[in-house]
Amino acid sequence: MDLNKNKIQSRSLFDLDGKPELGKALPIAFQHLLAMIVGNTLPAIVLTGQLANTPYALAPDEAVYLIQAGMFIAAIATFLQLYPVLKVGAKLPVIMGVSFAYIPVLTSIGVKYGLGAVFGAELVGGIVAFLVGMNIKRLYKYFPPIVSGTVVLTIGLSLYSVALNYMAGGNGNPKQGDMVYWIVAFLTLAVVLICNMYFKGIIKLAAILVGIVAGYIASVAFGIVDFSGISEAAMFTIPKIMPWKLEFPIDAVITMSVMFVVNSIQAVGDLSSTTAGGLKRTPTGDELEGGIKANGISSIIGSVIGGLPTATYSQNVGIVSLTKVVSRYTLGITAGLILIAAFIPKFGALMLSVPQAVIGGATVTVFAQITMSGMQLITSDEMSSRNVTITGLGIALGMGIVQLKPEALAQFPEWFRMVFTSSPVVLATLVVFVLNLILPKKTIAEEEAERRAMDNK
């Protein structure tokens, strides 16, 4: 009897080691694919757009390859998390992909030094992430919600100008600001909002994808889509070793390393949400360590083949929590589908043909969600005067310093300007981290007691 029960469980969608029938597993796998596919390709598209009209602008085939490499590394990273090698991997039902959180850092490094520096810094950042994974049990206490939430909030805020410039047609576009771009952008945004708020199931889940399709169709009707890249793209490609020569500018390395530390702490949240929502437990120390180490290794591999930094995908964590499907075999099918797409350059060329106005209309909602996620993290802790001060100063200094004119910082050392003005995330992270360590910890109740004591004197 017990043998039959184990046999049934081994075919279950709701068993971590279950291997369900393909007919049951495939719809869930496609759902995960739809949830991650846009997010996985957009960072490469945004970075390509930001590099346009700079000395480091990418050729069409290079831009396509950047997307393909991102698909490849997402598949490898996901397989590694599902099926660990030498204790590298969480052995949990998580989907990995190229992360939006890195966009401010990627663009600041790319515009200044080119992709060689981006991938050189990523290589070092991957090593840092691996080391964080090895020590996560000791480091996690230094990144409470007030710290990690402020960092995430700053990331979201820093991305708004990117989205709005895209909605206007994109930087470097001689026709930027033409009404056609705004029309297409707001149409895309409207479709995303309608799908997300008025629909359920797969339409709600794939709201951004549906919005991009609608915006793309409208763009074709307005005649602002260039199809030449699709016809010129090859049918098949394989990853290349060192497509860009690695460079290691010190400010780029420091900035990227800080982001990898922050991202590693955020991964703890995603892994914890996965186990809580899908398995009704907290993750073990070994699962956290393996998951973060796997992200470090996948980013190291990505730096060598031209794949941008990876992270756990919160939207896919949400699917696991909603459906309770934790079968690693099912998510492995998703990883297989991602891998297939990685070898088809016409897929990347199709994504690149989407006008920047459409990308802006779709991604502004993503960036808004990142911002609100940060706010939710912050407010999950009590908003004492101490915590309000930490959050407020971190955001004020981080967002403020990148808006200063060069002459305002001319008296500061070159290394300071290189590290702290490239992205608001770095300074914000440093400020909230240090303040959380040095400011006396007081609860709202303790602060109220101090005020009452003052009145009684």
149 pLDDT more than 90: no
Predicted pLDDT of residue 457: 65
**Mean local confidence (pLDDT), 74-95:** 95
269 pLDDT more than 90: no
pLDDT averaged over every residue in the chain: 87
Helix (H) or strand (E) holding 190: helix 179-198
- The answer to whether position 1 is within a domain reads no
Predicted pLDDT of residue 7: 47
- Structurally, the chain folds into a number of domains equal to 1
Give the separation between CA 33 and CA 333, rounded to whole angstroms. 9
373 pLDDT more than 50: yes
Q: Outline where 343-457 has alpha helix (H).
A: 345-352, 356-379, 385-401, 414-420, 424-438, 444-456
Predicted pLDDT of residue 309: 96
Q: Which of 29-33, 283-287, 295-299 has the lowest mean pLDDT?
A: 29-33
Q: Which of 238-247, 257-266, 302-311 has the lowest mean pLDDT?
A: 257-266
Q: Give me the domain span that covers residue 237.
A: 21-456
- What's the Cα-to-Cα distance from 215 to each of 31, 34, 185, 186, 298, rounded to whole Å? 21, 17, 7, 9, 33
Q: Give the 3-state secondary structure of residue 88.
A: strand
311 pLDDT more than 80: yes
Angle between helix 250-274 and 103-113 (nearest 10) = 160
Predicted pLDDT of residue 245: 95
- Give the angle subtended at the CA of 46 by the CAs of 40 and 48, to the nearest 5°: 110
Q: What share of the chain in percent tops pLDDT 90?
A: 42
Predicted pLDDT of residue 202: 66
Predicted pLDDT of residue 310: 94
Confidence of residue 205 (pLDDT cuts 50, 70, 90): low
Residue with tokens 């469980």: 9
Q: What share of the chain in percent tops pLDDT 70?
A: 95
End-to-end CA distance of the chain: 75
Predicted pLDDT of residue 219: 95
227 pLDDT more than 80: yes
| Residues 89 and 294: beta-carbon distance below 8 Å | yes
| Residue 28: closest CA among 324, 277, 270 | 324
237 pLDDT more than 80: yes
- The answer to whether position 378 is within a domain reads yes
Handedness of CA 419, 420, 425, 427 (dihedral sign): positive
Q: Which of 129-133, 220-224, 420-424 has the lowest mean pLDDT?
A: 420-424
Pair of tokens at residue 375: 């706010």
- The answer to whether position 13 is within a domain reads no
Predicted pLDDT of residue 319: 75
- The answer to whether position 96 is within a domain reads yes
DSSP 58: P
- The answer to whether position 2 is within a domain reads no
Pair of tokens at residue 320: 């696991």
228 pLDDT more than 90: no
pLDDT digit string (tens) for 1-54?
444 544 445 688 888 999 988 888 888 888 788 778 877 888 998 899 889 889
- The answer to whether position 270 is within a domain reads yes
Confidence of residue 63 (pLDDT cuts 50, 70, 90): very high
- The answer to whether position 133 is within a domain reads yes
**Mean local confidence (pLDDT), 187-203:** 88
Pair of tokens at residue 263: 């991202």
- The answer to whether position 374 is within a domain reads yes
Handedness of CA 388, 393, 395, 400 (dihedral sign): positive
